[in-house]
Amino acid sequence: MDSEALKKYSALHPKPAGLSLQYGTAGFRTKAEQLDHVMFRMGLLAVLRSKAVVSTIGVMVTASHNPEEDNGVKLVDPLGEMLHPSWEEYATQLANAEEQELQKIITEICQKAAVNQHKDASVFIGRDTRPSSEKLSQSVIDGISVLGGQYHDYGLVTTPQLHYMVCCQNTQGQYGKATLEGYYEKLSKAFTELIKQSPSSGESQRHLKIDCANGIGALKLSEMEPYFPKEVLVHLYNDGTKEKLNHLCGADFVKVHQKPPRGLDMKPNERCCSFDGDADRIVYYYKDTAGHFHLIDGDKIATLISIFLKELLAKVGQTLKMAVVQTAYANGSSTRYLEETLKVPVHCVKTGVKHLHHKAREFDVGVYFEANGHGTVLFSKAAETQIRQLAKEENDDEKREAAKVLENMIDLINQTVGDAISDMLVIEAILALKGLTVQQWDALYTDLPNRLLKVQVADRRVIETRDAERRAVTPPGLQEKIDALVKKYKLSRAFVRPSGTEDVVRIYAEADTQENADALAHEVSLAVYHLAGGRGAPPQP
């Protein structure tokens, strides 16, 4: 390692005094002007990680659904998964190191993680459409270059596209070609094959309105449009030409505010969906003839996909184990429907994509979605091999055809991470194949009314949870209080958890009516305020 070069370059990317950041589920995220040194150092870390695992590592510059003035960065591990938890710690140390300690900390990481300095390093870089992203990705490149790493800059890509490229590269092309064309071709080929099987194939065009959050999704969808079969017509809104990223639009806005995004005119019963800023989340929605807004969130997306896959798995007659993984935020009605009506096992894990992804890998077919619309399906190697073999060799026509549909589903799904483009095509294919309207999909079950609130606290660490965040262990007395409040309402539950990013406690409540869900959420927020060191004025109903 050339310590003179490191000193020289590090001085060009100085750390603001007193700034301390934490690498979390979303990587680092804060105001863009505070991130230059972090980007440089994540370039350094990507090289170390690449040498440690002797594989290509990804660096994505994005702050997803955050406001346009923010930015962020996350690292992508060899198979397109999120950075290994042990390295999150190294990322935090490196980002917060004072200039004169950088060399020492790099050496320490190399010792702790058994990094062979003589190995080659290779890094893939991608970025979203924020005004700050280009300059910040240049800082990442500086970091990679100082430690002598090789890099390929993909420029503007969705977050899931970068995850996909990294996986393709490290599987020597088994997962696909590590180019945008490769991504478009693989997905559109699988989608076209699926659509061909649909009952109304060829007659009617399928229209879909997409709110692209004024982000990268719009650019990539318009690049992909020529690859779509002619039956599918997508209409893009909030394409970034006029308005600000994520401002009053995007999946997060629609989910939180339960209303349509700005800039999209909805006619009754039209299918619409929203991507988030970096296109790794998707939610669907429509307005009924009475003008009421209906949101179809990640829980209902997981349910639709599960119904479809379960039918196919039954047809191919293999003993493959399927399960759905949710978090405590999943609506109680969805859990009940999956377990009782569909008879599919449901597992609850802590909030955060890495926990869902990890659990989903335990099954032959693992479906996971967060209520916010981030999710995907994982197929075990054994399941995939079995399905592909049946699609080729099975003599029974019905079994073989079902296996072929499953094979196309495997190719259409981005198994590395939640991917709005891929998930949208999966949903569109299932709706077409099952001949379902958006209203029929919505009517599978009725969501229990719910409310999300947050309470400012002096220190979020006073709240500790267990049982996949469904029970509070500390402060003393809080869980007992919540239990007593929950008993007052029908079909109700509530839980509290500390935010991963700020000093707030998040509260979720559901009950038989919206009025009761609101009342329960408010009462729980007061309990948190009084027992967990609330700041400012007490919560108002």
Q: Which amino acid, residue 372?
A: N
Q: What is the pLDDT of residue 231?
A: 82
Q: What is the pLDDT of residue 495?
A: 97
142 is an annotated ligand-binding site residue = no
Q: What is the pLDDT of residue 317?
A: 84
Q: Which residues pair with 451 in a beta bridge?
A: 509
Rounded mean pLDDT, 105-112:
96
DSSP 97-129: --GGGHHHHHHHHHHHTT--TTS--EEEEEE-S
Over 60: is that where the pLDDT of 326 sits?
A: yes
* Tens of pLDDT, residues 454-490: 999 999 999 999 999 999 999 999 999 999 999 999 9
Q: Which residues pair with 275 in a beta bridge?
A: 282
Q: Are 409 and 426 in contact (CB under 8 A)?
A: yes
372 is an annotated ligand-binding site residue = yes
Over 70: is that where the pLDDT of 95 sits?
A: yes
276 is an annotated ligand-binding site residue = yes
476 is an annotated ligand-binding site residue = no
Helix, strand, coil percentages (3-state) for the chain, rounded to 5, are 45, 20, 35
497 is an annotated ligand-binding site residue = yes
Q: Which of 236, 351, 342, 224 is nearest to 298 (CA)?
A: 351
64 is an annotated ligand-binding site residue = yes
Q: What is the pLDDT of residue 442?
A: 97
From the candidates 10, 64, 133, 422, give the one annotated as an active-site residue.
Answer: 64
**Long-range contacts of 147-150, Cβ-Cβ distance < 8 Å, separation of 24 or more:** 147/1, 147/6, 147/43, 147/44, 147/47, 147/48, 147/121, 148/47, 148/121, 149/43, 149/46, 149/47, 149/50, 149/120, 149/121, 149/122, 149/123, 150/120, 150/121, 150/122, 150/123
Q: Is 64 a catalytic residue?
A: yes
388 is an annotated ligand-binding site residue = no
Over 70: is that where the pLDDT of 127 sits?
A: yes
Q: What tokens appear for 42 in the block? A: 């994540």
Q: Which amino acid, residue 56?
A: T
Q: What whole-number distance in Å separates Cα of residue 44 and Cα of residue 144?
A: 5
Residues, the chain, total?
541
- Exposure letters 163-178 (e unless 16+ CB within 10 A, then b): bbbbbbbbeeeebbeb
Lowest mean pLDDT across 63-67, 174-178, 389-393: 63-67
Over 80: is that where the pLDDT of 346 sits?
A: yes
- Exposure letters 232-252 (e unless 16+ CB within 10 A, then b): bebebbbbbeebbbbbbbbbb
501 is an annotated ligand-binding site residue = yes
Q: Which amino acid, residue 306?
A: S
Q: What is the pLDDT of residue 43?
A: 98
First to last CA, the chain: 59
110 CB-side CA count, 13 A? 16
Q: What tokens appear for 151 in the block? A: 């890099």
Q: What is the pLDDT of residue 201?
A: 54
Q: Which H/E stretch holds residue 51?
A: helix 36-53
DSSP 387-452: HHHHHHH--SHHHHHHHHHHHHHHHHS-TTS--HHHHHHHHHHHHHHHT--HHHHHTTS-PPPEEE
Over 60: is that where the pLDDT of 203 sits?
A: no
Q: Are 251 and 283 in contact (CB under 8 A)?
A: yes
Q: What is the pLDDT of residue 202?
A: 52
- Specify the higher pLDDT residue, 503 or 497: 497
Q: Are 158 and 278 in contact (CB under 8 A)?
A: yes
What distances in angstroms separate CA 415 from CA 79, 142, 161, 277, 431, one per listed residue? 10, 31, 11, 20, 20
Taking the model in full, what pTM does it have? 0.94
14 is an annotated ligand-binding site residue = no
Rounded mean pLDDT, 382-399:
95
Rounded mean pLDDT, 239-258:
93
Q: What tokens appear for 357 in the block? A: 């992804």
Over 80: is that where the pLDDT of 308 sits?
A: yes
Domains (range + CATH), the chain: 3-156 (3.40.120.10), 178-446 (3.40.120.10), 450-532 (3.30.310.50)
25 CB-side CA count, 13 A? 14
Mean pLDDT for the chain?
94
Q: Which amino acid, residue 453?
A: L
Over 80: is that where the pLDDT of 178 sits?
A: yes
Coil, strand or helix at 75 = strand
Q: What is the pLDDT of residue 234?
A: 93
Coil, strand or helix at 53 = helix
